[in-house]
Amino acid sequence: MTAKVYGIPNCDSVKKAIASLKSNDIEVVFHDFKKHGVPAQLLDEWIDVLGLEKIINRRGTTWRGLDESLQDKARSPEGAKALLLEYPSIIKRPVVELNGELTIGQTDFSKGNS
């Protein structure tokens, strides 16, 4: 079984999720937002499945560091998508694809929690 994990490598939540997946004998393929960006087509799917409110991490330092005018862009779906593509660090992490299911922010993949 393989999981695709999207995030940034120095994020504690991403590290915890990868460790949990590996400890449960799940192979991990990691997609680094910093190096490879956010796949625009996948972002559309994430927005459809999870909703913008779950995807945007409004508590993180990147979000808090954006000017108000940039934060206001997130009020429309088009503006939010553009903002997420430009500033991938405002995406809540990790985003995980496992067994055809998509999760965001989950770090425990032990049996019974996935």
Residue 113 covered by a domain: no
Residue 51 covered by a domain: yes
Choose among 109, 52, 58, 107: nearest CA to 78: 52
Q: How far is CA 9 from CA 16, 18, 77, 80, in A?
A: 11, 10, 27, 23
Residue 112 covered by a domain: no
Q: Does 11 participate in catalysis according to the annotation?
A: yes
pLDDT for res 113: 62
Per-residue pLDDT of 78-91, as tens digits, reads 999 999 999 999 99
Residue 24 covered by a domain: yes
The stretch 16-26 carries a mean pLDDT of 97
Q: Domain range holding 54? A: 2-104
Q: What is the CATH number of the domain that holds 24?
A: 3.40.30.10
Catalytic residue among 11, 52, 82, 85: 11
Residue 58 covered by a domain: yes
Domain count of the fold of the chain: 1
Residue 70 in this model has a pLDDT that exceeds 80: yes
Evaluate whether 76 touches 88 at the Cβ level (below 8 Å).
no
Mean pLDDT, rounded, of the chain:
93
Question: Is the pTM here over 0.85, yes or no?
Answer: yes
Residue 110 covered by a domain: no
Q: Cα Rg for the chain, rounded, in angstroms?
A: 14
Could you please report the per-residue DSSP string of 89-110? GGB-S-EEEETTEEEES----S
pLDDT for res 19: 97
